[in-house]
Structure 1
Amino acid sequence: MHKTIVKVGIVGLGRLGRQHAENLAFRIPFCELAAVCSIDSEAVEQVKKEWNVPYAYTDYDEMLANKELDAIFIATPSGFHCEQIEKALHAGFHVFSEKPLGLYLEEAIRVQKAVNRNKEKVFMLGFMRRYDHSYAYAKKKIEEGKIGEPVLIRCYGLDPAKAMDGFMKFAKKNYSGGLFLDMAVHDLDLARWFLNAEARQVWAIGGNYAYTEFEELNDAETGAALVKFENNKMGIFVASRNCAHGYHIETEIIGTKGSLRIGTVPEKNRVTVFDESGAVNECSDGFLERFEQAYLSEAEEFISCILENRQPEVTVEDGVLSTCLGYACKEAFETGELKTVQYPVTAPAFGSLMRGESTIYDAD
């Protein structure tokens, strides 16, 4: 691509969408936020006016008809991702989509096919933790052999309890996909990345202890999954929407010669407050604060890939495989049974998974 400026249209102006929009508009070189789209007409008009965005839409299809745009950035609720990705690719755009790729295996596989039919276009999925400096450093240390062969990963993903009211409004619209697909999918992707292995079997449990409203959604307020990966590697995943002290994201990777921990204390910064409560290290309030740098870095990578005519390291296959694992966790929780992870056989990238104990089905 010989253009020096990438013109981007974003769909979705919620909490995360607004952050992405600000990054695209003000913080990324060679990028112009040229269009915004949301069903919230007031938010659309506000952004258009205050940021001088040329185009504003409340209809996604109308934005896709704008041929001045080069790329579409999708930051809508999870249930809309697959259809919007397919439409944007069909209309000839480069596409960035927030996680997860899809809420169901069938639609995730359909998107994978659409991406592979449009290989000349850049497609990137928003697994932003891979672009966080701490997680990237841990990956580098693993590749250098610092902890030997990684054999176990333990992940905590705990959302602040004070965000519960806002989340319930979101979940009751059936936008979430459940605890494991909506929240734990980041950790499931990290596990695949750090262990360099795919999941085979899953057992998951959970419950609703302070917020019984989740019973109506067939979901869990707090849940845990135990995953067996290839070569008997192990994963322990804990996710909760009820964390009293704030936003707590913690990861531990145990290897044959050592271990790594990321985010053991979810500190807001390096300041310690001394007062009547004692010595206090304040915690991050939420994902936008904790991963501010990562969200910016992943968007910068997307724009760079377009300008340099290359594909990002995070692929559509990463999205499909993480969806497979997340969906297996969801099924294991709902049934109380041990589940074998099902994988498609349509893509060459999945060839190494098609041996051993995995149940396989042909997505065609």
Structure 2
Amino acid sequence: MNKVKVGIVGLGRLGIQHAENLAFRIPNCELKAICGLNKEQLAELSDKWNIPYTYTSYEEMLQNSELDAIFIASPSNFHCDQIQQALEAGYHVFSEKPLGLYLEEVEKIETIINRHQDKVFMLGFMRRYDDSYAYAKKQIEQGAIGEPVMVRCYGFDPTEGLESFLKFAQKNYSGGIFLDMAVHDFDLARWYLGAEAEQVWAIGGAYSVPAFTELNDAETGAALVKFSNGTMGLFAAGRNSRHGYHIETEIIGTKGSLRIGTVPEKNAVTIFNDAGALKECVSNFNERFAQAYLSEVEEFIHCIQTGSKPAITAKDGVQASLLGYACKESFETGELVHVKAYSSTK
């Protein structure tokens, strides 16, 4: 079976991890090209990883006839345009979340994706591929907690990343805390509850970094969501977690509940010293979801080689974005917002 030859655009924190997975850890895959703005980084990776092609122009990379697929790990505001360019150039496409930053472009790109049914398109909602989250889904399907009625999600980035994220947000790359961070939790809630969001009320503020107020964004935000089947979602997202990267999810059912990541433990080691009994916490998303980032791309490559389709579709990206936009609107206006109904573009 021939290897799938991939070119990646975007070599930031997550992009580097994806690139390394593509280069060394994904069976039947070959990282053939890398694209970024830092020429020194490109040269270093090309030499270190033996990658034959480097580009500072995405359009030039798309002209490489040796490639089969494009992996998009660039800032969120580039996703829709780069997805469209890659599909229209004849490539399979994997894009990191979110699908896009603006409602109009998200709906437009879904139409374009649906026109290219001969190509594999996959969106990076990697938590569905995390062993713990996947196990929880199976437990729900098997009736372990009865009917799920509420999902509670916490997503807090470590304090040490505040300054770098602020620079990211100032470039209008993120779309705000609900689209940039909570979109993962919105997707999980849809997945676990089997329903779509109808109403949302969101609040938040800038409590230690006032500059977020100037960006019309929240340092910490929360949202209460009503879903179409009457179930509920409680979401909290923040960028000032002193103890580390804290991702926690609880699914409450009629006969019990499931909790994932209640204590964001780094590993199974407990340190006993004069400070007491200590459990170290994971420090970032790369560390917590290393296995999931690997598994989702394995699925992408498998789909290309077998002609199958991934479970995560463009619709999932649109639905999560619709909820994210509604949260953003509610946060900005202080009003209860009805989530825009999804209209299939197929």
TM-score normalised over the length of structure 2: 0.99
Match of 2:232 among 224, 231, 234: 234
Matched-pair contact (CA < 8 Å) for 1:249–1:266: yes
Matched-pair contact (CA < 8 Å) for 2:114–2:345: no
Matched-pair contact (CA < 8 Å) for 1:35–1:53: yes
Give me the whole-angstrom Cα distance separating, in 1, the residues matched to 2:214 and 2:64. Answer: 41
Partner of 1:21: 19
Is it true that 1:342 corresponds to 2:315 in the alignment?
Answer: no
Match of 1:158 among 156, 159, 170: 156
3-state secondary structure, aligned to 1:342: coil
Aligned positions of 1:235-274 closer than 5 A: 235-274=233-272
Partner of 2:100: 102
3-state secondary structure, aligned to 1:343: coil
Give me the whole-angstrom Cα distance separating, in 2, the residues matched to 1:197 and 1:275. Answer: 48
Partner of 1:58: 56
Give me the whole-angstrom Cα distance separating, in 2, the residues matched to 1:207 and 1:251. Answer: 22
Partner of 2:5: 7
**1:127-166 CA distance string (max 9 Å, x none):** 0000000000000000001111100000000000011111
3-state secondary structure, aligned to 1:231: coil
Letter in 1 for 2:239: R
Give me the whole-angstrom Cα distance separating, in 2, the residues matched to 1:132 and 1:62. Answer: 34
Give me the whole-angstrom Cα distance separating, in 2, the residues matched to 1:215 and 1:107. Answer: 26
Matched-pair contact (CA < 8 Å) for 2:270–2:278: yes
3-state secondary structure, aligned to 2:212: helix
Give me the whole-angstrom Cα distance separating, in 2, the residues matched to 1:21 and 1:284. Answer: 22
Partner of 1:173: 171
Matched-pair contact (CA < 8 Å) for 1:158–1:247: yes
Give me the whole-angstrom Cα distance separating, in 1, the residues matched to 2:109 and 2:88. Answer: 11
Residue 181 of structure 1 and its aligned partner are, at CA, apart by: 0.0
Letter in 2 for 1:84: Q
Q: Which runs of 4+ in 1 moved over 6 A?
A: none
Give me the whole-angstrom Cα distance separating, in 2, the residues matched to 1:166 and 1:231. Answer: 39
**1:81-132 CA distance string (max 9 Å, x none):** 0000000000000000000001111111111111110000000000000000
3-state secondary structure, aligned to 1:236: strand
Partner of 1:71: 69
Letter in 2 for 1:144: Q
Aligned positions of 1:155-234 closer than 5 A: 155-234=153-232
Is it true that 1:292 corresponds to 2:290 in the alignment?
Answer: yes
Give me the whole-angstrom Cα distance separating, in 1, the residues matched to 2:196 and 2:255. Answer: 22
Matched-pair contact (CA < 8 Å) for 1:11–1:73: yes
Give me the whole-angstrom Cα distance separating, in 1, the residues matched to 2:249 and 2:342. Answer: 28
Matched-pair contact (CA < 8 Å) for 1:201–1:339: yes
Residue 346 of structure 1 and its aligned partner are, at CA, apart by: 3.5
**1:169-192 CA distance string (max 9 Å, x none):** 111111011000000000000000
Give the number of aligned pairs.
346
Give me the whole-angstrom Cα distance separating, in 2, the residues matched to 1:40 and 1:95. Answer: 23
**1:301-357 CA distance string (max 9 Å, x none):** 100000010110000000000000000000000000000000342336xxxxxxxxx
Matched-pair contact (CA < 8 Å) for 1:9–1:34: yes
Matched-pair contact (CA < 8 Å) for 1:109–1:344: no
Letter in 1 for 2:203: I
Root-mean-square deviation (Å): 0.8
Residue 233 of structure 1 and its aligned partner are, at CA, apart by: 0.3
Match of 2:33 among 32, 35, 49: 35
Letter in 2 for 1:117: R
Letter in 2 for 1:274: F
Give me the whole-angstrom Cα distance separating, in 1, the residues matched to 2:111 and 2:46. Answer: 35
Give me the whole-angstrom Cα distance separating, in 2, the residues matched to 1:273 and 1:345. Answer: 53
Give me the whole-angstrom Cα distance separating, in 1, the residues matched to 2:120 and 2:232. Answer: 33
Is it true that 1:323 corresponds to 2:297 in the alignment?
Answer: no
Residue 217 of structure 1 and its aligned partner are, at CA, apart by: 0.7
Letter in 1 for 2:78: F
Matched-pair contact (CA < 8 Å) for 1:184–1:326: yes
Give me the whole-angstrom Cα distance separating, in 1, the residues matched to 2:80 and 2:345. Answer: 18
Partner of 1:357: none
Aligned positions of 1:110-129 closer than 5 A: 110-129=108-127
Partner of 1:82: 80
Gaps of 5+ in 1: 349-364
Residue 212 of structure 1 and its aligned partner are, at CA, apart by: 0.6
